[in-house]
Structure 1
Amino acid sequence: MLGANLKVLPVLVCRKEERWEKTFGKTVEELGDNLSGKVQVLKGFIINEEKEVSTLKESLTEADAILLYKPHLGLENCVIKIAEFGLPLIIFNEGGPTQKALDALEYIYPRKNVWVAIDYHDINSLLELLLVKKKIENTKILVLNTDYPFWERWLSRISGGIEAIKNKFGIEIKCIKSDKVVNKWKDMDEERAKKIADKWIGEAKSVLEPDEGDVIAVAKLYLVMKDLLNEYEAEALTMAYGDDPLPVPCFAYTNLRDEGIPAACEADINSLLSMIILHHLTDKPSFMGGIGFESDISLTIDHCVAPLKMKGYDTPPGFYILRDYHKEKFIGSVTAFVMMDINQEVTICRLDGDLRNMLVAKGRILKCVDLEDHCRVTVKIRVVDARKFIHTTSGNHHVMVYGDYGERLRELNELFGIATIES
Structure 2
Amino acid sequence: MCEQCTRRTFLGTGVAGGGLLLSGTAWAYAWTSDTPPKPKQKARICVIFTGKPGPEDRGWNTDPKQAEAMRNRLDKAEKDLGNIELVIGESNSAEQTAALLNQAGPGVPVLAINMTCFALTRVARPILDGKHPLAVFSLPASGHDWMYPHRWQRQGNPVTLLPSSDYNELERALRLLRVIPLMQQTRILLFPPARGTVPARSPEEIKKRFGAEVVAVAEKTFDEAISAVDQKEVEAEAARWTEGAKAIMEPTKEDITKAARISIALQKLVEQEQAQGLAIGTCMGWLSKGFPCLGFARLRDRGVPAACEGDMDSLLTMVLLQHAIDRPGFQGNATFDTARNVLWTAHCTAPLKMDGPHGEIAPYLLRGHSEVGGSGCVPEVHYRLGQIVTRTKLINLDTILVSTGKIIEVPEKSVRACRTQIVTEVRDAAKMAVNWSKDIDIEDAMTLLHRVVFYGDHVDSIYHLARLMGLKVIEEG
TM-score grouping bracket, smaller chain normalisation: 0.7 to 0.9
1:335 to 378, 386, 397: 378
When structure 1 is superposed on structure 2, of 291-300 and 121-130 the one drifting more is 121-130
1:188 Cα deviation after fit: 2.4
Mapped pair 1:10 → 2:63 = no
1:34 Cα deviation after fit: 3.4
Q: Which residue of 2 aligns with 1:37?
A: 77
Paired with 1:177 and 1:306, the residues of 2 have a C-alpha distance of 25
The one-letter code of the counterpart of 1:98 is: G
2:406 to 361, 364, 376: 364
Distance 1:117 1:417, change over 3 A: closer
Q: Which residue of 1 aligns with 2:24?
A: none
Cα deviation code 1:191-233 (max 9, x no counterpart) = 3211211222122222222222221211111111111111111
Aligned pairs (5 A) from 1:135-284: 135-144=182-191, 146=192, 151-152=193-194, 154=195, 157-158=198-199, 161-241=202-282, 243=285, 245-284=288-327
- Would the aligned equivalents of 1:342 and 1:365 in 2 still touch at CA under 8 Å? yes
Q: Which residue of 2 aligns with 1:404?
A: 457
Q: Which residue of 1 aligns with 2:178?
A: 131
Paired with 2:40 and 2:433, the residues of 1 have a C-alpha distance of 35
Distance 1:65 1:319, change over 3 A: same
1:89 Cα deviation after fit: 3.9
1:80 Cα deviation after fit: 2.8
Distance 1:80 1:265, change over 3 A: same
Paired with 2:144 and 2:316, the residues of 1 have a C-alpha distance of 40
Paired with 1:380 and 1:44, the residues of 2 have a C-alpha distance of 49
Q: Which residue of 2 aligns with 1:310?
A: 354
Q: Which residue of 2 aligns with 1:419?
A: 472
1:100 Cα deviation after fit: 5.9
1:406 Cα deviation after fit: 1.3
The one-letter code of the counterpart of 2:77 is: G
Secondary structure in 2 matching 1:401? strand
Q: Which residue of 2 aligns with 1:345?
A: 388
Q: Which residue of 2 aligns with 1:21?
A: none
- Would the aligned equivalents of 1:348 and 1:361 in 2 still touch at CA under 8 Å? yes
Secondary structure in 1 matching 2:309? helix
- What is the TM-score normalised by the length of structure 1? 0.82
The one-letter code of the counterpart of 2:233 is: R
The one-letter code of the counterpart of 1:325 is: H
Q: Percent identity?
A: 24
Q: Which residue of 2 aligns with 1:60?
A: 104
Distance 1:294 1:137, change over 3 A: farther
Q: Which residue of 2 aligns with 1:324?
A: 368
Distance 1:197 1:88, change over 3 A: same
The one-letter code of the counterpart of 1:168 is: R
The one-letter code of the counterpart of 2:457 is: D
- Would the aligned equivalents of 1:76 and 1:104 in 2 still touch at CA under 8 Å? no
Paired with 2:289 and 2:86, the residues of 1 have a C-alpha distance of 48
When structure 1 is superposed on structure 2, of 119-128 and 286-295 the one drifting more is 119-128
Distance 1:8 1:372, change over 3 A: same
Paired with 2:119 and 2:276, the residues of 1 have a C-alpha distance of 47
Cα deviation code 1:164-198 (max 9, x no counterpart) = 22222222112111110112213322232112112
Paired with 1:108 and 1:342, the residues of 2 have a C-alpha distance of 38
The one-letter code of the counterpart of 1:420 is: V
Q: Which residue of 1 aligns with 2:60?
A: none
Aligned pairs (5 A) from 1:69-80: 71=116, 79-80=124-125
Paired with 1:396 and 1:204, the residues of 2 have a C-alpha distance of 29
The one-letter code of the counterpart of 1:234 is: A
Cα deviation code 1:128-156 (max 9, x no counterpart) = 32123433443221113x2xxxx14x156
Paired with 2:451 and 2:120, the residues of 1 have a C-alpha distance of 49
Name the Cα RMSD after superposition.
3.6
1:262 Cα deviation after fit: 1.0
Structure 1, unmatched stretches of 5+, are 15-23
Cα deviation code 1:260-286 (max 9, x no counterpart) = 111111111111111222323332222
- Would the aligned equivalents of 2:115 and 2:142 in 1 still touch at CA under 8 Å? no
Q: Which residue of 1 aligns with 2:7?
A: none
Paired with 2:360 and 2:66, the residues of 1 have a C-alpha distance of 41
Q: Which residue of 2 aligns with 1:376?
A: 419
Task: Pick the structure with greater CA Rg.
Answer: 1
Distance 1:333 1:137, change over 3 A: same
Cα deviation code 1:282-309 (max 9, x no counterpart) = 3222211111121151111111112222
1:125 Cα deviation after fit: 3.9
Paired with 1:104 and 1:339, the residues of 2 have a C-alpha distance of 43
- Would the aligned equivalents of 2:333 and 2:451 in 1 still touch at CA under 8 Å? yes
1:120 Cα deviation after fit: 6.8
